[in-house]
Amino acid sequence: MDERLSPAWKVSLHGGHSGEFCDHARGTLRETIEAAVAFGYHTYGVAEHVARTEARFLYPEEIKLGWDIEKVQRDFERYARTVRQLAREYDGRITILCGFEADCIPAHDYVRLMSRYRGEFQFDYVVASAHYVDEVLIDGHQGGFDRALEMQGGLEPLCVRYYETVAEMATALTPEVFGHVDVIRKLAPGPCDTPAIRRAAGTALETIREHQCILDVNTGGYRKGHGMPYPAPWLTVLARDMGIPFCFGDDSHGPDQVGADLDHSREYLLAHGVETITTLAKTKSGLAREIIPLQ
């Protein structure tokens, strides 16, 4: 890869979902990595969704496809082997970091499960994302989000509980990366920035800083029609002022989404006073952080 044609900030630490291992993605993992090479990434973190362990957490689409928990778990095990194999195969063309996207279900056992997955499959790193609030999916269909709204008693209490969940995950999992930290606004019927919500989000960011997580600037916000990545401007500025590092995540769910809106996200960070991103580099003793200027 020609470094002159590949800016150092072309890094994603959250993405690589593929139709091989995810019902709502497309293409193969190999095709996704080929797209990452073609885009000019020098480091690409692949973080497939963690396997769920209970049938009640299957997606409606998976049920229609005839999937069960056993298949989901087999696919995740196959993913762990495949991503490691491809990382070796593509070494020298692109650095592939082998990770997974951890979640907070089931609520009583997710900490143990996520730790077990990380150790058993020897993943390089973890992206933590809160897709659920009290075991109700808030990053799927509107119906699920509306159920969460009803259970929590409205948008403000739902958002507050969401950010409490973010803080709990950062503390319990100490992930290298925290994914799309304000994805709660994806399906929200109104603004998610009341004083109470901002206080809860600030506490979550303090916890993220305390546990030295990198904050995912997730380009998926553009695909979802928000006109910006996650996190929103007020959260970005707050995290910047707290000294929390940022990384890019294209959150790709198919080869066609690899690198999408990365340039826009770079411009977004610069416009909000963020001049560097942080990446993870492989060393003999593990992963090390590297700070990369955006200019």
Tell me the CATH number for domain 3-293.
Answer: 3.20.20.140
Per-residue pLDDT 10s for the chain (295 aa) are 444 467 999 999 999 999 999 999 999 999 999 999 999 999 999 999 999 999 999 999 999 999 999 999 999 999 999 999 999 999 999 999 999 999 999 999 999 999 999 999 999 999 999 999 999 999 999 999 999 999 999 999 999 999 999 999 999 999 999 999 999 999 999 999 999 999 999 999 999 999 999 999 999 999 999 999 999 999 999 999 999 999 999 999 999 999 999 999 999 999 999 999 999 999 988 999 999 999 9
State phi, psi for 181 to the nearest 5 degrees: -65, -20
Q: Locate the domains of the chain by residue range.
A: 3-293
pTM of the model: 0.96
